Amino acid sequence: MAADETDARAFSDDHDWLDADHPREECGVFGIFGHPDAAAITALGLHALQHRGQEAAGIVSFDGARFHSERRLGLVGDHFSKKSVIDQLPGMVAIGHTRYSTTGETILRNVQPLFAELAGGGFAVCHNGNLTNGLTLRRQLIAEGAIYQATSDTEVILHLVARSKRNRFIDRFIDALAQIEGAYAFVGMTNKKLVGARDPLGIRPLVLGRLDGHPIFASETCALDIIGARFEREVEPGEVIVVHETGEIESIRPFPARRPRPCLFEYVYFARPDSVAGGRNVYEVRKNIGAILAAESPIAADVVIPVPDSGVPAAIGFAQASRIPYELGIIRNHYVGRTFIQPTQSVRELGVRLKHSANRAVVSGKSIVLVDDSIVRGTTSRKIVSMMREAGARAVHFRIASPPIKHPDFYGIDMPDEAKLLAAQMGLEEMRAYLGVESLAFISIDGLYRALGEPGRDNAAPQFTDHYFTGDYPTPIADLVGEGAKQLSLLAEAS
């Protein structure tokens, strides 16, 4: 096994055992055009998007003559805070990516942005999301003679652009988009253009901003805020935006309009609380979720305690609505990082205590309401409940700020299959007993929609992508049938 593969496996293992009970991050993309400090600005943007992917990061820049690429395993700050690295990325155009692998192993050749020399010149691209026919297309392209360097589904787009018979680059890019299915937010660059594209349903987010007049693409508005950029608008579902060499922005809508269905988990967990998504402040939405959860599943208790950090806004909303005091009964250690690269089994068993510790003064002798954003496997939740008991909690009531997760995701969220999803295997009472709590309740799907300002879920035409709760997948999933399913299984085993 190559050295980069060994390091990546160790890094991945480290995070798996520390945070196995939440959906794993997606990815973050960023791009800027025409700025003299393009690479440094991109690095700052990726810092703000670090929560979306913590396994690897990369930046590609263009200096007017040559493309430059730096791709590293690990956190953005581990590498791209260094002047020596930024100095290797000259130019006034740059794109960047922070990654959590949803398709393909965490090895250096999969780290984005990916780059290729095509007939018309260099093309670099990065991707947030997952192509649900990516493996099917990969199999077809390899049969036709394509040579793959990576196992990431993003490489498909490079091959499709390269093989297109269209003349102009943007037409070749759109031709490639027409052949893919699933969820995507692409940011790409050539020697003359910066381009952003969002899938027709708007499942994955992408926004357009400006810094001193220079166009920027980013996964979330928080990446604009960190650099003092102005939010202009969201890239619309199905829209392709091209920033030309002159700085002119062209909006292209190459596909028939469809009813948008952005991902609900952006509001529940993925987006940073200070971001704005779909015109909604994420922090306020999460507080609304907590308030509705309190109304749907009231409980008499002494104190409301969030499971940090993702459960904090919902816990505040729950406490305010129920008029139960809010306290920090769990303290999170933000500096665990890569302390133990390959921990022993005994250390693994103590993993939750490395990340969370009980605030005994708040918990002891109290009836508490624990509020978390979601339950996936239930393993970490069970350990946190046990920790509360050991700290002296008299009773533990668990409230979850999302409906039960019963179905896997294929659009860019790393979520286990149904056999490993607690809610897919157990009923509510079984889950309550397994977790060891006095009561357990999840917000309803209609309650979650109301928290976003909707009257409820329109079952005939859902307003959001919510398949992990409902089983209603919004696109075909070619990779789950026939040969594609076999390849998906083999890739999972290899990863």
Catalytic residues: 27
Computed on alpha carbons and rounded to an integer, the radius of gyration of the chain in Å comes to 23
At 376, list the tokens: 């996936």
Burial (CB < 10 A; 0-12, 13-18, 19+), residue 426, is middle
- Max Cα-Cα span within the chain: 72
Q: How far apart are CA 271 and CA 310, in angstroms?
A: 10
Q: How far apart are CA 210 and CA 220, in angstroms?
A: 13
Write the single-letter amino acid at 54.
Answer: Q
At 266, list the tokens: 């952006």
At 5, list the tokens: 């593969």
Write the single-letter amino acid at 154.
Answer: T
Q: Which residue bears the tokens 């996964």? A: 219
**Would you say the C-alpha torsion 406, 472, 313, 292 has a positive or negative sign?**
negative
List the Cα angle 478/482/488 in 5-degree steps: 70
Write the single-letter amino acid at 389.
Answer: R
- Under DSSP, the state recorded for 391 is T
Q: How far apart are CA 187 and CA 217, in angstroms?
A: 7
Task: Give the side-chain half-sphere CA count within 13 A for 161.
Answer: 26
Whether residue 231 contacts residue 210, with contact meaning beta carbons closer than 8 Å, is answered with: no
256 cis-preceded (ω within 30 degrees of 0) = no
212 cis-preceded (ω within 30 degrees of 0) = no
Residue 453 gets the label, from left (phi > 0), alpha (psi -120 to 50) or beta, of left
E-strand stretches of 342-466 = 356-358, 367-372, 395-400, 439-442
Write the single-letter amino acid at 248.
Answer: E
Beta bridge partners, 356, equal: 332
- Under DSSP, the state recorded for 302 is S
